[in-house]
Structure 1
């Protein structure tokens, strides 16, 4: 990998002012809410042993990746809103590309294995615990993380070896297409490799999820009314989450291809939607739509409140006795 002791300049930001300060505040609140919501969801799943099941283990990893995605670029975006010249080192830009791509690839991978988990649960209920064993869950999660890391490491190597002729990035944060567009030359290998990444990490997962739900739908239509309601409750959070994330990916694709032809305000929204909205909505969707998680959260909260009240009462009793 070539090491560049240079800095890139973001030119998509406006100058510091009331508007940028307002956007900074909204972004900061959203970021803190995202961290809080995902951390709470992870804590609930970790603390409640009744949730130590494949679906919730996958959900734990989805929340963890939400933290990675929002933290990959949002702190840098917020800092750029407060300074006159928006600089980032070339190596930091590549790291931002890597973690942003890793977040997207892993989220799609996790949503795919979650769809498979729902398929086995609904279509093969008697075989569920024989199929979704602890080893199977580990293998699925291993594939979700290891394969993107290996693929993206090669992509970063190819991208970093491209010679640079330009040093201005017309976006709010770095992505691979933005860095590649700074190069003096066109590389067919980089283009083909990037296209392969889209097929592997977007098209293939999308196809697997659609096939899973086609099979789930065909089985659910033959079930009783109670079975249909149960299947709907089980799949609704995942389906909403998948549609939400796919919409964000679509926005990102549109932004990458047509950002020079879109209004600036729409550009800003579409560029940050991908890392701003899904990481916040995913834990909220599962927290509100999944009954077992809601029950576990209330149980932990009541237990915590009861512990605090008991501690305060004990202190009061101790004081009264001493008096």
Structure 2
């Protein structure tokens, strides 16, 4: 027996298969200004991170653990930005703000794996600085290319596998609504639209998020406490070199922790009364770290700065008649 669906039934299924962003409003001509500013930010992120990646890849003197980790950090910024900005730019120019359910969960997966990878890479970088400063004689035997590859693989695969499971569980939930007051898909917002009791998955995801944030945070604090104790017993020249290599990481890690705190705080609590303010803060982890990271490392580390300037001078000479 074959059943034919009525047009009303087809329309209902299509509506449930789509999620709608309600935070976008009709800004009129201002939408083009917002689009131009967002496009400029996206181009800046791509350009700044690509410069660092190319510098590390093309310059053999930068094929060292610390610079490989910095390159990985910039590649992750490109990955996370690409999961958000193209769709966001389309929504700014569009009158209808719909996204298919599968693509919504793909966006969730990309953005959260970006967060997890970023946090893990920053934690691995703290361990690298700890070994370099506290155990300098063992650095080359411990931080071999094989060890660097293993650490990066674990840092990347851990969020990919664990978050993949949570996103899969969220994607299997039946939804009774299709409107989100967000500029991008968010797991907590989707769970709130579910027709069934989501207490278990909500508690499990919150526990996982807290553990995933605080374990790396405590580890980084421990490594820098050990580094501080070693620097106190060392010469001023040693302290200066240690500060030169650790300061960029401290800045990027602190900035990322603030971004992470803003994102999860806004996700867990109802912020409908602070729509504009919440919208700006919800984008912080997607904009500030990808811009800050290459600028901090490119401007503060003389090795990377020299390579960038050398490439710029070589490019100018190539354009001379």
TM-score of the aligned structures, taking structure 1 as reference length: 0.91
Which position in structure 2 is the counterpart of 1:304? 315
Does the alignment pair 1:247 with 2:258?
yes
Which segments of 5 or more consecutive residues in structure 1 lack a partner in the other structure? 313-323
Aligned-residue RMSD, C-alpha: 1.5
SS at match of 1:9: strand
Equivalents in 2 of 1:44, 1:249: separation in Å?
Answer: 28
Structure 2 residue aligned with 1:198 = 209
Q: Which runs of structure 1 show a deviation greater than 6 angstroms over 4 or more consecutive aligned residues?
A: none
CA distance change for structure 1 residues 72 and 259 in 2, over 3 Å: closer, same or farther? farther
Q: How many residues align?
A: 307
How far off its partner does 1:193 sit?
Answer: 3.0
Which residue in 2 is equivalent to 1:22? Answer: 33
- How far is the alpha carbon of 1:298 from its aligned partner? 1.0
Cα drift, residue 194 of structure 1: 0.8
Match of 1:170 in 2: 181
CA distances 1:30-52 after superposition (whole Å, capped 9, x unpaired) = 01000000011100111110000
Q: Deviations over 1:65-100 (max 9, x none)?
A: 101111111221121111222000000000000000
Deviations 1:104-138 (A, max 9, x none): 00000000000000000100011100010111101
Residue in 1 that maps onto 2:155: 144
- Secondary structure at the aligned position of 2:99 is classed as strand
Q: TM-score, normalised by structure 2?
A: 0.92
Q: Identify the match of residue 104 of structure 1 among 115, 137, 144.
A: 115
- Structure 2: tracts of 5 or more residues without a match: 1-12
For the 8 Å contact 1:70–1:275, the answer to whether it is kept is yes
- Work out whether residues 14 and 20 of structure 1, in 8 Å CA contact, stay in contact via their aligned partners in 2: no
2:188·2:268 contact (CA, 8 Å) conserved in 1? Answer: no
Paired residue for 2:293? 282
Using the TM superposition, give the Cα deviation of residue 175 of structure 1 relative to its aligned residue in structure 2, in angstroms. 1.5
Q: Distance in 1 between matches of 2:37 and 2:278?
A: 17
- The residue correspondences of 1:72-83 to structure 2 (distance < 5 A) are 72-83=83-94
Residue 84 of structure 1 aligns to a residue in which SS?
coil
Equivalent-residue separation in structure 2 for 1:8 and 1:195 (angstroms): 23
State the 1:282 CA deviation: 0.7
Residue equivalent to 1:208: 219
